Amino acid sequence: MLTVAAFLFAIGLLIAVHEYGHYRMAVACRVKVLRFSIGFGKPLFSWRSSGSATEFVVCAFPLGGYVKMLDQREGHVPDDERNLAFNLKPLRVRVAIVAAGPAANLVLAVALYALVNWSGVQYPAAVLASPEAGSIAASAGLIGGQRVERAGLDGAELHDIQSFEDLRWLLTRGAVERRDAHLLVAGPAQGQRGDVLLRLSMIDAADVDAELFRRIGISGPFTQPAIGTVMVGGAADKAGLREGDVVRAVGAVAVVDAQQLRQLIKASAESGSSTATVWRIDRGGAEIEIVVKPVPQQEAGRWVGKIGAYVGAAPELVVVRYGVVQSVWQGLLRSWDIAVLTLRTMAKMLVGGASAKNLSGPLAIADYAGKSASMGVTQYLLFLALVSVSLGVLNLLPVPALDGGHLMYYLWEGVMGKPVSDTWMELLQRGGIAVLLVVMSIAIFNDINRLFG
């Protein structure tokens, strides 16, 4: 129920903001707006403000909306209202009205990011977990427990890294843009500092997913290798492990963090059977040894070891908060970065450099909406900001039937001195709708695979 409510609110808000951008610009440019609709299909309810020419409508199918303006191409325009018709306005006015919708979504995203930055948000600290063997991070010499203080991509200055989220975003950009990342790390021993180069340019980042970060070797923040909830009758329970035990070594292998411990447990049963191993445990300051035998289980077509206990303590958290002006600036930077990354990823999809699996549709958005809402207001606001940027950018693409397609027509009109002919307009609109249907079909297919595959 939370997922449905969070999704409907998100879609309704983002569409309303988008259409309100068109509406307000049209009113400001003295264009008569006949209808402001959220959704398509049968109207559920409608109203009209006193003295207003605009009918406001909420319809049954919520995935979209429109602003209907007085226009000679869509109906008769009385002589005394010709100055209020959209199609008779100067080119610059029509461009401003069409561009105002995507612009409103981008402004909303900046405002939401600014609000979160100003109010403060908790993120895991930028302390690295132990990298997987053979990953880029392992090859660069990272061992886990190191804190990233500053970082930057090739050709850019290093900047402060305040949280693991900052680092993850920088690595995403580096992988997509195929630019190496430079890290200034400290620790884990006091006084240790060093520069680390991550060769992200070597990665073919077709998909931005969990597998990408496993290949980089930085998939999560550092967590203590502590035992959490222990299942009754499981391997951990039979061995005598208790909640709060901190694992220092598995056999002859010293354990750095929870990620390494989970890898060791899984790898213990790769052959379909496992052997008992002596674990060195820190229990309340006293070191003891316990013999543990993980249970082999099938997972994604391969054998892995399981101990029947939660592995890993909560990561170190930091509160990231900015002043008012800096919050807005950070909101602008994050919105710009997401917009650029979205466009670059889509461009790579067109030339085969990125997988179409990166496309997400309404099912995935609904799932993310529910998950973010369950995590609290801050995470939900961040989700809304991300989708708002994406909606703004996608609507500016030069695809007929989108706002960007109309801007493309106006560009032609500005260059050639005459509008696109009705014949070409109809052909392009049909082609644009066909493209959108294909993209939406792929996105929904991806959603089904992610959620049910």
What sections of 157-300 are H helices per DSSP?
164-177, 210-216, 235-239, 258-267
Query: Is 301 found in the same domain as 328?
Result: no
pLDDT at res. 64? 83
Number of domains present in the structure of the chain: 3
| 8 inside domain | no
Question: Is 73 domain-assigned?
Answer: no
In a domain, 52, yes or no: no
Determine the average pLDDT of the residues in 28-32: 94
Mean per-residue pLDDT for 383-395? 91
Can you give the pTM of this predicted structure? 0.81
pLDDT digits (tens, 9 = 90+) for 177-234: 889 999 999 877 555 678 889 998 888 765 566 677 888 888 889 999 999 999 999 9
What does the pLDDT average to over 150-165?
91
Same domain, 168 and 291: no
Among 11, 10, 14, which residue's Cα sits nearest to residue 107? 14
Active site residue 19: yes
The C-alpha angle 119, 387, 93, rounded to 5 degrees, equals: 100
- Domain boundary among the residues 290, 311, 332 is at 311
Query: 374 with 290, same domain?
Result: no
Whether residue 408 is found in the same domain as residue 344? yes
Name the more confident of 236 and 60.
236
- Top-confidence residue, 210 or 149: 149
In a domain? residue 203? yes
- The answer on pLDDT for 442 being more than 80 is no
Please report which helix (H) or strand (E) contains residue 69, including its range: strand 55-69
Domain end, chosen from 282, 311, 340, is at 311
Residues 433 and 330 in one domain: yes
Backbone angles phi, psi at 379, to 5 degrees: -65, -35
Same domain, 374 and 337: yes
75-128 pLDDT, tens digit each: 888 888 899 999 999 999 999 999 999 999 999 999 999 999 999 988 899 999
Q: Confidence class of residue 353 from pLDDT cuts 50, 70 and 90? A: low
Do residues 365 and 278 both lie within one domain? no
Cβ contact 201:177 at 8 Å: no
The CATH number for 195's domain is 2.30.42.10
Q: Are 358 and 451 within one domain?
A: yes
Is residue 25 domain-resident?
Answer: no
296 SS3 class: strand
Residue 78 in any domain: the answer is no
Higher pLDDT, residue 349 or 310: 310
Q: How far is CA 392 from CA 233, 388, 403, in A?
A: 53, 6, 10
- pLDDT of residue 299 exceeding 90, the answer is no
pLDDT tens sequence across 304-341: 999 999 999 889 999 989 999 999 999 999 999 889 88
> What pLDDT, on the 0 to 100 scale, is given for residue 167?
92
Residue 170 counted as domain residue: yes
Range(s) of the domain holding residue 377: 90-120+323-453
For residue 230, the model assigns a pLDDT of: 93
> At 356, is the pLDDT very low, low, confident or very high (cuts 50, 70, 90)?
low
| pLDDT (0 to 100) of residue 206 | 59
Cα maximum dimension of the chain: 93
Can you tell me the mean pLDDT for 350-372? 73
Q: 350 vs 181, which has greater pLDDT?
A: 181
Q: Are residues 332 and 452 in the same domain?
A: yes
Q: Is residue 412 part of a domain?
A: yes
Residues 300 and 370 in one domain: no
Asked if 301 and 398 sit in the same domain, the reply is no
Nearest Cα residue to 338 out of 385, 407, 278: 385
DSSP output for 345-381: HHHHHHTTSS-GGG---HHHHHHHHHHHHHT-HHHHH
Q: Give the whole-angstrom CA distance, residue 170 versus residue 148.
A: 12
Q: What is the structure's pLDDT at 355?
A: 67
156 and 249 both lie in a single domain: no
Of the residues 216, 240, 258, the one at which a domain ends: 216
Ramachandran assignment for 448, one of left (phi > 0), alpha (psi -120 to 50 degrees), beta (any other): alpha
Mean pLDDT of the chain: 87
What mean pLDDT do residues 435-442 have? 79
